[in-house]
Amino acid sequence: MKLNWSLQRTLAKVNYQIHTDAIKENLIPTEITKQQASSVYASEADLLNVALFGMTAKEWRDSNPDKKGNIRDYAVIEQLVVLSNMESINALLIQQG
């Protein structure tokens, strides 16, 4: 089961890269600062986090100050499967405008 979780977490990370690439290519204007761009990335990630986990990454960190990593590191395998699919679909929707 641990191996399955690790494989699925890796897949979610790969899809995250696809997702961030779509954001970079389609939603980030060249004339904004890195801090502003970071806000766009975080907003898109939190859109998925709220849909799946019911909270943003910051809300999770604030609620779990003793835990290392992020909300996705504590997801169960079913959540990781859904997350991977959501990242792929959102990347496609971003690319389609």
- Please report the pLDDT score of residue 24 as a whole number: 94
Confidence of residue 1 (pLDDT cuts 50, 70, 90): low
Its pTM stands at 0.80
**Which tens digit of pLDDT belongs to each residue from 13-56?**
788 889 999 999 999 998 999 999 999 999 999 999 999 999 99
Residues of the chain above pLDDT 70, percent: 97
Instruction: Show me where the domains of the chain are located.
Output: 2-27+34-95
Quick check: 68 pLDDT over 80? yes
Please tell me the distance from the alpha carbon of residue 8 to that of residue 80, in angstroms, as a whole number.
6
CB-CB neighbours of 13 under 10 Å:
13
- Please report the pLDDT score of residue 59 as a whole number: 97
